[in-house]
Amino acid sequence: MMKIAPIVEEMGRYPDIEPILLHTGQHYDDNLSQVFLRDLNLPEPDIYLGVDSDSHARQTARVMMAFERVLLEQQPDLVLVVGDVNSTLACAVTAAKVGVPIAHVEAGLRSFDRRMPEEINRVVTDALSDLLFTTEESANENLRREGIPEEKICFVGNVMIDTLLKHRRKAMRTGILERLRLKKGEYVVLTLHRPSNVDDREAFLRIIQALEWIEAQIKIVFPAHPRTVKRVQEFGLQERFGGMSNLLLLEPLGYLDFLGLMNSSKFVLTDSGGIQEETTVLQIPCLTLREQTERPVTVTEGTNIVVGSRTERIVEESRRILNGEVKRGKVPKLWDGKAAERIVGVIRARCVLG
């Protein structure tokens, strides 16, 4: 939703574009979905497919079956997909088979780890796409190596940052710090949900051990993903989490509340891709709990450090930040809040006016 919101808004400026907003339902919660629609000023989706959580194969197949009907009924001129989730892959494959051109926002990002389902989704979607909108130069290089013609690659910047810059000031006024009795710079934000971290009990235990050291030094605020909560229960780790008295466990938060929370934190621990980008722009130190990142510009230019799941490494980098050894970064090229403007400009030039 954060990626699509600025594009939908920009398309609304042009009467020669008729956007049809489709929500597959892959990531859907009655409360959270409405919170994000409201926070981002998104209209209600024109089409909702009602696909829910399932295995990768079944979920992808269900989206494809439902989306094929939509394509045959609507006869669109272009299908625009964002990111790297199963819905991205499913809609791209379906559009390619029906013969509808595809535009992919956030194209070219690579972790080079085919064990990640998202990596498969990225590679296949890019191979099928007619317009590939990239966020950083490494993505352009990846696409060239994979044989994508230069005329299909469009370096436009990062739509996630469009959304962040538009809503940052509003996020500072949600009152989330007051509600949670927090003070700026006196807590750490944690997000954790990747299968490699929470489905692997040994990796999860290594991370927990690091968290136990960190929470003895500074408060940890943890909006917990449902997947992670489920694994805590399955692995019998409730006592370990319960024993961390300085860890504040929360339900998932809406966009504005989470942005406000992150913006005032000492640093962020995460295994999310988008948060690596957001912390770079916010100039908040970020420790990524993965072995690699598909967003290398957040490391080479931003505030991100990839630490993996080893206890010692997480503790070492956390200690450095707490001691004032903070990595200083800069905002990458074209992360200026105008990516959606560039994307829609290309679409109009290629698909509407041309």
Residues 55 and 81 in one domain: yes
Mean per-residue pLDDT of the chain: 94
- Amino acid letter, 113: D
**Pairing status of strand 267-270 against strand 286-288:** parallel
Q: Which domain holds residue 13?
A: 5-157+335-352
Catalytic residue among 23, 167, 193, 225: 193
Residues 213 and 267 in one domain: yes
pLDDT at 30: 57
Residue segments in the chain with a per-residue pLDDT below the cut of 70: 26-33, 354
CATH number of domain containing 109 = 3.40.50.2000
CB 163 within 8 A of CB 36: no
pLDDT at 326: 94
pLDDT at 32: 57
Residues 21 and 105 in one domain: yes
**pLDDT tens digits, one per residue of 121-166:** 999 999 999 999 999 999 999 999 999 999 999 999 999 999 999 9
Question: What dihedral angle (degrees, nearest 10) is formed by the CA atoms of 244, 208, 202, 319?
Answer: -150
Structure tokens at 249: 């466990």
Q: How many helices (H) and strands (E) does the chain have?
A: 17, 12
Residues 218 and 147 in one domain: no
pLDDT at 42: 86
- Assess whether 193 carries a catalytic annotation: yes
Residues 6+ apart with CB under 8 A from 21: 4, 8, 42, 43, 45, 46, 47
CB 261 within 8 A of CB 280: no
Residues 29 and 82 in one domain: yes
pLDDT at 51: 83
Domain count, the chain: 2
Residues 240 and 288 in one domain: yes
Residues 6+ apart with CB under 8 A from 176: 182, 253, 257, 260, 261
Residues 261 and 346 in one domain: no
Asked if the structure places residue 112 within a domain, the reply is yes
Residues 22 and 120 in one domain: yes
Q: How many CB atoms lie within 10 A of CB 71?
A: 17
